Amino acid sequence: MSASSLLPGNSRRQFIKTGAAASLLPLLGSLQPVFAAGTDRIRVGLVGCGGRGIGAVRNCVAADPSVQLVAVCDAFADRVDAAMKEFAEGGGDGNNLRPPLPKDQFAVTPERCFVGFDGYKQVLASGIDLVLLVTPPHFRPLHLQAAIEAGVHVFTEKPVAVDPAGVRLVMKVADLAAQKKLAIVAGTQRRHSADYLETMQRIKDGAIGELVGGSCYWMQEALWHRGRKPEWSEMEYQMRNWLYFTWLSGDHIVEQHMHNIDVMNWAFGGPPVKAFGMGGRQSRTDPKYGDAWDHFSVEFEYANGVRVQSLCRQVAGSSTRVTERLVGTKGTARPSGVIQGAAPWKFEGKLVNPYDQEHINLIRSIRAGTPLNEGRQVAESTLTAILGRMSAYTGREVSYAWVLEASKLELKPSAYAWGDAPAVNIPVPGTTPLV
């Protein structure tokens, strides 16, 4: 592929040769070497070379020694360069040093490094078995559809969309994946973590009685912002700072807090009936922060009438809380491993890094011929977070069924090209329409 016409600015690709091998993390159990075409090699492609993309490759490599990274892409050439350098030489500093990938698991050549909006197509066409989708969430429905149609197994980061139109497409793709016996595992790693799994089973077995309430939190300080360079177009600026633009990230209630909302859906057996939310911008008053809010408070009501309070915030200098809490008629629980009340209990089992465990489970399911399909599950949790955002943005109580079936909201640019980007319109409750 010729990338010169797609490169933003004056970036040029520089490819780094593979460095010294590193030891794998210990594997849990054995994996049967029975993959496609009679080989145990699993060829992996990466779509999105940011920090989470680099991390997902490391998690996948640690999960199975037969994994081999063979192709990568990103919208930006410098992100491809940085990822290739870390995979070949290692990265990090201080106490966070990361080794290079093992030589036999790093097989990316310059010919299989792609840059631009269409790079995912080249990755999917490069003979891979599994693709890691780790771009800003806006692109997830398009990339998921292309991967499943190409017959490729998928690991996808959450969320899987930023609007109802995208969620509906993901649900269709999940059904297609089931028909084609292809895996979709999502980055909702709590569902693969032993402490959450055991706690949830105890709750379902009645350890805290009937569920009557809950709350979930992602309260943290501010996140990164990469600034602006004069040579960047508006599209490049927004994509470099994608967290702050709803069309790219879904806002932080969707992009980040969806983790905790997903746990609530897990506990209550599905998405809520409706949401009533509020929020705003108290610290993000600078126009550079796009249209993203800095705090949300949403009440979700589930089918049995139980209400769950959802709180998220990204404000510098503020206290942090990232957790979930469930209330029952016989006690309370933190799904991360603590039950109090009539049957007190604390998780004391062995924990594996859940970011690794989700890839272990994904690969095991593929080898066993029973591929995991979390597509609809993660789509429902994504839509739940979008529901909360839409209620808060508009100031209206909104039903899940209406958002799923009737909403016409679709957030996208007029073209995927380096130039103009969607206009920034900060939502104002009572004025912003419900679409």
| CA-CA-CA-CA dihedral for 24, 30, 34, 36, to nearest 10 | -40
By residue count, the chain amounts to 435
Q: List, in order, residues 6 or more apart from 320 with CB less than 8 Å away.
A: 219, 220, 221
- Please calculate the CA angle 35-369-352 and round it to the nearest 5 degrees: 85
CB 71 within 8 A of CB 126: yes
**Distance (Å, whole) CA 379 – CA 273:** 15
203, 418 contact by CB (below 8 A): no
pLDDT of 39 reads 61
| Cβ neighbours around 30 below 10 Å, total | 7
Q: What is the pLDDT of residue 95?
A: 81
Q: How many CB atoms lie within 10 A of CB 410?
A: 15
Residue pair 298/284 in contact (Cβ under 8 Å)? The answer is no
DSSP type of residue 391: H
What is the strand order of the sheet 398-399 is part of? 345-346, 338-341, 331-334, 321-328, 211-220, 307-314, 295-301, 274-280, 398-399
Q: Report the first-to-last Cα separation within the chain, whole angstroms.
A: 40
Q: CA angle, corner 383, sides to 381 and 387, nearest 5?
A: 120
Whole-angstrom distance, CA of residue 6 vs CA of residue 419: 12
CA 142 to chain centre: 15
User: Are 269 and 304 spatial neighbours (Cβ–Cβ below 8 Å)?
Assistant: no
Tell me the pLDDT tens digit for each residue of 12-46.
233 222 222 222 222 333 333 334 434 689 999 99
The per-residue pLDDT for 279 is: 98
* pLDDT at 216 (0 to 100): 98
Domains of the chain in start order, with CATH, are: 36-190+357-375 (3.40.50.720), 194-350+381-405 (3.30.360.10)
Calculate the alpha carbon distances from 380 to 164, 270, 406 in Å.
Answer: 10, 8, 15
What is the pLDDT at residue 194?
98
C-alpha 29: how far from chain center:
27
Q: What is the DSSP string of 29-95?
A: S------GGG---EEEEEE--SHHHHHHHHHHHHH-TTEEEEEEEESSHHHHHHHHHHHHH-B--TT
Please give the average pLDDT of every successive group of 10 residues along the chain, which has 435 residues: 35 28 28 46 98 97 97 98 97 87 97 98 98 98 98 98 98 98 98 98 98 98 96 98 98 98 98 98 95 98 96 97 98 98 97 97 97 98 99 98 98 97 97 98
What's the pTM?
Answer: 0.92
Q: Give how far the C-alpha of residue 138 lies from the chain's centroid of Cα atoms, to the nearest Å.
A: 11
Among 411, 385, 387, 386, which residue's Cα sits nearest to residue 399?
387
Q: Supply the angle between the helices 51-63 and 354-368 in degrees, to the nearest 10.
A: 50
Residue 47 has what pLDDT? 99
* Token reading at 434: 């419900």
Measured between alpha carbons, how far is 60 from 53 in angstroms, rounded to an integer?
11
